[in-house]
Amino acid sequence: MNVVFISPHFPLYFHNFCSRLKERGVNVLGIGDEDYNLISDETKNAVTEYYKVSNLENFEEVENACKFYENKYGKIDWIESQNEYWLEMEATLRSKFNVNTGTKIENMSPMKYKSKMKDVYKKANIPVARYDYVKSLESCIDFANKVGYPIIAKPDNGVGANSTYKLNNEDDIRRFFNERDESVVYIIEEFIKGHVETFDGIADSNKNVLIASSHVMLNSIMDCVNEKQEARFYSQPVKNRDIETIGKKVVKAFDTRSRFFHFEFFRLHEDKEGLGKKGDLVGLEVNMRAPGAYMPDIINYTYDVDVYSIWADMLIHDKSFVDIDRKYSVGYVSRRDELKYKNSIDYVKSKYNDKILVDVNVPKVLAEAMGDRVLLARSKDESDLFDIMDLVTEKI
């Protein structure tokens, strides 16, 4: 089996996807824009071969790399990246090289355009926030007057919370019109009072869920980016809960065949006409790739499994060989370099000792959403996680 993996060296832990395939006898054919001598030893050992391009944004270069691999190793069976930024490139390459083990570019729009995602949600009878395209200043003001302030403006085809605006009044709308990139198609949508809960996992070629987890976001990614807040979230039980019911419905509605998936929902904090009652779930966005922010590792710590191996076995055998039994609650908490904190990380570690599993500095390119320094904590008692998060983020 030949698997092309785009950007195996970044994010830094993505070598795990590659190594599990290579351990199982797969030719893992990496394409990246970093010099081979500068990538980690873990990445070097995880790939069969590495092809450097000068710029991953240059499709012709990446296409030539795939042609090289096809001539050397034979037909390409899979093209993957697990990175939102490269999903359209993946899909275009699949169409070019007739790779049928994932979504092709002609079917990609429901997975990349937020407006198209909403259409699929609606067909699955899952409520979504009202929205409109940004057409003119007047139409945006009319929309805000209809649904009420604040409203959210974001790129229809965007990654994460980048270039997302919370518009609290007419002046904010006018400022947004002056600041926005006019080459980007934006949508506006009504603001939902609620928090985000995810449904993350892996599906086989028949959209059967092999493993699923869920994470409760204690503050939004938009606020982390725009207001420089710390990111805080934790894993919650899935089995026999409404997040599992709605999550599996979304798995069936989208092209999740042989995919890692990451879905986001709002949990309403109050009754919302047209959407539901307080506590109901509302569709937000879908991502056909592994969740970010070390969530694969959080799933591993929650279930005591290796999701990278489960993903590799899915690609090769279309099934999983492990039992899924939730054992722990796991929390994620970050710090910002520019903020001053009351407690040292060493103090937190000394107090909670074996419950702190990861302490890592985040690359600058990812720190805007994730925070500059991240701790992962695990406990059988969920309340420990909140104590640790509070201790880590307490300011002077």
321 lies in some domain: yes
Same domain, 244 and 381: yes
CB 53 within 8 A of CB 61: yes
CB atoms within 10 A of CB 129: 20
232 lies in some domain: yes
Same domain, 72 and 169: no
Nearest CA to 97 out of 125, 136, 64 is that of 64
119 lies in some domain: no
pLDDT at 302: 97
At 224, the pLDDT band (50, 70, 90 cuts) reads confident
> For residue 138, which amino acid is it?
E
Same domain, 15 and 32: yes
pLDDT at 7: 98
pLDDT at 366: 85
pLDDT at 273: 87
CB 234 within 8 A of CB 328: no
292 lies in some domain: yes
Nearest CA to 377 out of 237, 232, 214 is that of 232
Number of H helices, E strands in the chain: 15, 16
> β-strands 186-190, 259-268: how paired?
unpaired
Same domain, 134 and 164: yes
Same domain, 153 and 201: no
Mean pLDDT in residue range 225-242 = 90
pTM flag (> 0.75): yes
Same domain, 212 and 331: yes
If you ran DSSP here, which 8-state letter would residue 77 be given?
-
118 lies in some domain: no
Distance CA 213, CA 231 (A): 18
Quick: pLDDT tens for 316-340: 999 999 999 999 999 999 999 999 9
Q: Which domain holds residue 39?
A: 2-107
**Per the structure, how many domains does the chain have?**
3
Final residue before a domain boundary, out of 171, 190, 209: 190
Same domain, 185 and 203: no
Q: Which CATH number belongs to the domain containing residue 178 in this structure?
A: 3.30.1490.20
Same domain, 225 and 341: yes
Q: What is the mean pLDDT of the chain?
A: 95
Distance CA 354, CA 388 (A): 12
Same domain, 248 and 268: yes
CB 206 within 8 A of CB 258: no
Q: Edge-to-edge strands of the sheet including 2-6?
A: 49-52, 27-32, 2-6, 78-80
Same domain, 252 and 323: yes
Rg (CA), the chain: 21
41 lies in some domain: yes
Final residue before a domain boundary, out of 92, 107, 122: 107
Four-CA torsion 5, 11, 17, 18, nearest 10 degrees: 50
Q: Which CATH number belongs to the domain containing residue 309 in this structure?
A: 3.30.470.20
Provide the CA 228 distance to its chain's centre, in angstroms.
19
CB 299 within 8 A of CB 307: yes
Q: Residue 301: phi, psi to the nearest 5?
A: -70, -30
For residue 197, the SS3 value is strand
116 lies in some domain: no
Same domain, 231 and 373: yes
Q: Is the pLDDT of residue 135 over 70?
A: yes
Q: Residue 21: phi, psi to the nearest 5?
A: -70, -45
Q: Is the pLDDT of residue 159 over 80?
A: no
Same domain, 15 and 153: no
β-bridge mates for residue 236, sequence order: 214
Q: Which CATH number belongs to the domain containing residue 14 in this structure?
A: 3.40.50.20
pLDDT at 386: 97
Residue found under tokens 């980690």 = 40
Final residue before a domain boundary, out of 141, 172, 190: 190
pLDDT at 139: 96
Least confident of 79-88, 157-166, 358-367: 157-166
CA distances from 203 to 199, 251, 295, 318, 368 (A): 12, 8, 16, 9, 30
347 lies in some domain: yes
Among residues of the chain, what percentage have pLDDT more than 70?
98
